[in-house]
Amino acid sequence: MRQIVLDTETTGISPSDGHRIIEIGCLELENRRLTGRSFHHYLQPDREIEQEAIAVHGITNDFLIGKPRFSDVAQEFMKFISGAELIIHNAPFDIAFINHEFKLLDNSFSTIVGICQVLDTLVLARQKHPAQKNNLDALARRYGADHRERTYHGALLDAEILADVYLAMTGGQVGLSLHDDADGEGGQQEVIQRLSANRLPLKVIKANEQELSEHEARLGIIDKACGGSCVWRQLA
């Protein structure tokens, strides 16, 4: 299954007020493994960035001078995400901005739901952790994915963190703690360590004849001790 972990940074809160996307970051997953393929661009929005937004992501108006516009990368972006399931935290926010950017182009561009399925990890997190903090920072701490140092939010960096959080959140128990701490973030968790997609396959060592014989003898002892109900033999 092909999935794209996606995040954006913007000039402000709402596209209905004319705000625009200024950064898109995407990472590709194939069968729950990072492939190493990504899509990342800073974008010239043709408008001023609100100071409140700069305080969040640190992207300034001067930094974006000379950067491409969304229209310059739209086809490449569409090709990268088409047919995939998008993994987004608080998806309505990012989807609204992307659809707004599409709307500013010509009619050949569809809405996101017309080309992709969308999985909102905020909805998923609220189902798994009701009455707890479920923003990306809180989830990163809960699942041990907050090992990257950062001062500001960034689309590609947040997509990397979200990929770790999503894989941990949908892959079973991460830590052994059964109790939440005072701020609802849970106990100590394992730190996620990524394995290279290009790593060598594990070597499989098969039992030899002597080992198989000894194993069978041990099963006989177990079978006799439990009255002929050895589960291992029933499964064999």
Residues labelled as active-site residues: 153
Reading the block at residue 54, the tokens are 């700069």
Residue pair 121/143 in contact (Cβ under 8 Å)? The answer is no
- What's the rounded Cα separation, in Å, for the pair 167 and 33? 9
Q: Decide if 42 contacts 92 (C-beta within 8 A).
A: no
Q: How far apart are CA 205 and CA 208, in angstroms?
A: 9
CA distance 150 to 156: 12
Question: Which residues make Cβ contacts (< 8 Å) with residue 105, sequence separation at least 6?
Answer: 70, 71, 74
CA distance 9 to 155: 6
Per the document, the length of the chain is: 236
| β strands within 136-204, DSSP E | none
In angstroms, rounded to a whole number, what is the distance separating the alpha carbons of residues 121 and 83? 19
The upper half-sphere exposure of residue 220, i.e. CA atoms within 13 Å in the direction of its Cβ, equals: 6
